[in-house]
Amino acid sequence: MSYDPIEETRSKLKKYELGKVILSIDRWSKYKDKVHHLSWKIVKFNSSEAINIPDDEQGVYSFVVKPDIANHPECAFLLYVGMTEKQNFRKRFMQYIYESKNEMGRINIRRMINLWGNNNLWFCYAKMDDIGLIKKTEDDLKEAYIPPMNDEFPAQLTNRALNAW
């Protein structure tokens, strides 16, 4: 059997594959007016950054991976969307730090953190004063972005519909 550098590269890259990534302009347009204006803050996903995350605010958050190649200013991929309806951002952030080390944790979360968490994973959060809108905003963001590492989606976006893509 001869050495095939292309096959070797494919094999090495397989662990980073996310399956289908859906970039739907129609969904983005449909939800622009649904999602309230959010003021996002971003920190590197690293336990030493926890001190920079508020322990008295709630809202929605996301994880993005940023390659940081050639100082490109706007290259990031949204991987996950969540909410902190009954806890603060710092507590939720630290739960992800612990979950990445827990073999019983959610497989998609462990995979996301283990693959990109060393240098390229970022935690973005947006404070929401109206706590009653947090869940709806999270659902709206999930429906618009269809983040590849989320495994639960609002009823409007059923697994059957996702599998059709």
117-130 per-position pLDDT tens digit: 888 999 999 999 99
- The answer to whether position 135 is within a domain reads yes
162, part of any domain: no
Identify the helix (H) or strand (E) that includes residue 39. Answer: none
CA angle in degrees (0–180, nearest 5) for 146-152-153: 50
Q: Which residues contact 131 (CB under 8 A, 6 or more apart)?
A: 58, 85
The model's pLDDT over 86-98, given as tens digits with 9 standing for 90+, comes to 899 999 999 999 8
Residue whose tokens read 């979950």: 99
35: pLDDT confidence band, cut at 50, 70 and 90?
low
For residue 165, the model assigns a pLDDT of: 47
Smallest CA-to-CA distance from 66 within 19, 109, 116, 13 is with 116
How many folded domains does the chain comprise? 1
* Spatial contact of 31 and 146, defined as CB atoms under 8 Å apart: no
Give the range of the structural domain holding residue 133, as residue numbers without chain letter: 38-47+55-152
* Residue at 112 is within a domain: yes
User: Who has greater pLDDT, 25 or 157?
Assistant: 25
Domain assignment present for 90: yes
pTM: 0.85
CATH of the domain at 66: 3.40.1440.10
**Would residue 163 count as lying in a domain?**
no
1 — pLDDT class (breaks 50, 70, 90): low
Average pLDDT over residues 129-153: 90
